């Protein structure tokens, strides 16, 4: 059944891959055409997203079966580490603590973490595992592109790029945890594939809103 779970994750990721045109900002960054002020805004928005997602993942872990709980706990631990990297990126963008504290986030950017919080409160954790895994695939690709562009076009060093490097790099342990969670849900008849697909589509729509709000 492990192979079936992995195949389900891979197939769903392919089926629900976002439209390449849904993200207008990453191509601009890739070409070095995004203003540094936009990079700073990206950093400041992520300062709101990362801690919100971490708390949502911890709440999902509390509600979940053991396999899904392990997956969400690993996600939360990753968010905590990403938050440290984010501080360096934010500083490299020229956004000091005073500016960060005074910053008012954009509704279009914060719709994504708001929906993740909704999932944490209302959705079956097993369905959320599948939905998040699909969404993270696109996010990892965006981060890889941004990390390369920051070095090539904006002269950012490795420490300033670490936030995006972190999400861009393969995470086999997390991938395996996701497979284990989906396998257990399939074995026990807890996975609602239709509902998980719905969650994934909404996550992708909210992520597209995030990027469009920054342009």
* 31-49: pLDDT as tens digits: 999 999 999 999 999 999 9
- The DSSP secondary structure of 18-53, one letter per residue, reads PPGGG-SHHHHHHTT-S-HHHHHHHHHHHHHHHHHH
Q: Which of 6-20, 78-92, 179-193 has the lowest mean pLDDT?
A: 6-20
Pick 2-10+23-213's CATH classification: 1.20.910.10, 2.40.30.10, 1.25.40.10, 1.10.443.10: 1.20.910.10
Q: Is the pLDDT of residue 137 over 90?
A: no
Q: Work out the mean pLDDT of the chain and round it to a whole number.
A: 96
Residues 6+ apart with CB under 8 A from 167: 82, 139, 140, 143
- What SS3 state is found at 59? helix
For the chain, domain boundaries: 2-10+23-213
Block residue for tokens 């939360």: 76
Q: pLDDT (tens digit, 9 = 90+) per residue, 51-105?
A: 999 999 999 999 999 999 999 999 999 999 999 999 999 999 999 989 999 999 9
Does the pTM surpass 0.75? The reply is: yes
Q: For residues 156 and 30, give the distance between their C-alpha atoms in angstroms, rounded to a whole number.
A: 13
């Amino acid at each position: 059944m492990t192979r079936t779970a992995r195949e389900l994750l891979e197939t769903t990721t392919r089926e629900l891959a976002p439209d390449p045109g849904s993200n207008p900002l990453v191509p601009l960054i890739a070409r070095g055409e995004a203003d540094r002020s936009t990079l700073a805004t990206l950093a400041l928005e992520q300062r709101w997203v990362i801690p919100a997602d971490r708390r949502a993942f911890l709440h999902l872990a509390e509600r979940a079966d053991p396999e899904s709980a392990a997956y969400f706990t690993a996600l939360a631990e990753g968010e905590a580490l990403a938050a440290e990297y984010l501080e360096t990126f934010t500083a490299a963008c020229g956004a000091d603590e005073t500016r960060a504290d005074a910053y008012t986030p954009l509704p279009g950017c914060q719709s994504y973490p708001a929906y993740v919080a909704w999932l944490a409160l209302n959705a079956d954790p097993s369905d959320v595992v599948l939905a998040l895994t699909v969404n993270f695939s696109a996010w990892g690709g965006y981060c890889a592109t941004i990390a390369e562009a920051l070095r090539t076009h904006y002269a950012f060093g490795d420490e300033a790029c670490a936030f995006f490097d972190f999400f861009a790099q393969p995470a086999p342990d997390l991938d395996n945890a996701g497979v284990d969670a989906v396998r257990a849900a399939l074995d026990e008849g807890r996975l609602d594939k239709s509902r998980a697909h719905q969650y994934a589509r909404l996550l992708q729509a909210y992520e597209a809103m995030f990027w469009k709000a920054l342009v």
